[in-house]
Structure 1
Amino acid sequence: MEFFRIIDKQVTEEIIQTSINPENLEKFTDSMFFLEENDNNFKGGTLWGEFNISYDIIKGGIRFTLLDCPNALSWTITTGFSPEKTKIIIHSTINRTQKPAEFIEEVNEFLDEWESGLISQF
């Protein structure tokens, strides 16, 4: 399944990459927090519990992945690409084609938090 948010803010990929990192997640979302570094990744708390989380700088922005999540939840925060090249795009995926409505609602709430945090910080 895929989820999108389009945020009407103009920033560069460099601003996204330097402003958002594992140690300052709480500036952007209420349901995520940094616990400790873990090799090239980090351990963090989320709405669904504690996970090993990857954080990658990618073309256009950043990507997070919950490495030990059974749904393989991943999300990117990027700019400079379609569908809205001058806006911030949050794109999230899970490895399922169907999930209970409650879980989909939780993912949407999670992305709503990120959207609100990005709007307030940028």
Structure 2
Amino acid sequence: MLNYEQKQKRKINTVFIDSNLIHLKKDFLGWHVIHPWKNSDGTINWFNFLTGGSWWHLLIMVTLVLIISGAIFEYTSNMNILISCFDNSIALENCKESFGFQDYLINP
């Protein structure tokens, strides 16, 4: 259970700078600007909810997801080719071609 001081440290502070409302949160590394997904009146801030506060964060997340999903797709397609090589001895030449004509991969 958190005591009162620990709860106050996790509290979000709002600051007005040049007529802009900025939300700050303190953690063990210091103060950080945060982008809450909910407005003060209770409505959803869709820009912050979908992008994480900036288009740059969204671009980074989409790039990471595409890299990971591409690696998973490439791995599974290569494994399916390899499994089909062992299942069907007729397609051995196609399998050798897929893996660069290396004879040590498939020995009939």
What TM-score comes out, normalization by structure 2 length?
A: 0.23
Greater per-residue helix proportion: 2
Name the larger-Rg structure.
2
Greater per-residue strand proportion: 1
Question: Structure with the greater relative contact order (CA < 8 A, sep ≥ 6): 1 or 2?
Answer: 1
What TM-score comes out, normalization by structure 1 length?
A: 0.21
